[in-house]
Amino acid sequence: MSDYEPAPEVRPIRHAEDRKPTKNDLRYLQSAKDTLMRLHMTVYGEEIMSLHTPKEWEMLEEAFHCEPKKQRVTLLLDEPVAKFFRTKGRGYQALINQVLRTYAELRLARVLEGPEDRGPGGEAL
């Protein structure tokens, strides 16, 4: 018996068809795409770097460290969610931050919608 699960269908990130994106939406969308790429590199980066990047380049991030200010919060997660991220090893909290940042940027770009983004008749707000 195999644990193999086929990959889900990959769809490009797009705005809803009934809404023209604003400049702000497009800015947040680009930011979300950049964050998704950083997230991807966090998960698969070591493999990719070992194939294509000289070892000396690993020090560049330390030399030009630019991170937004962090704020300490207490967060309760569902047990399976906490276990999933902890299995990623050291730096799992930064990974959680990247996932949450991506979600926030996609919401701000109006790519992902919540119930509060639609009017009572289902029209886009």
Model confidence over 63-120: pLDDT tens digits? Answer: 666 677 888 999 999 998 999 999 988 889 988 988 888 888 877 777 777 767 666 7
Torsion angle of the four alpha carbons 88, 90, 92, 97, in this order, in degrees rounded to the nearest 10: -140
pLDDT tens-digit map of 40-78:
777 776 666 566 655 665 565 566 666 778 889 999 999
Q: What is the C-alpha to C-alpha distance for residues 40 and 47, in angstroms, rounded to an integer?
A: 11
Whether pTM > 0.95 for this model: the answer is no
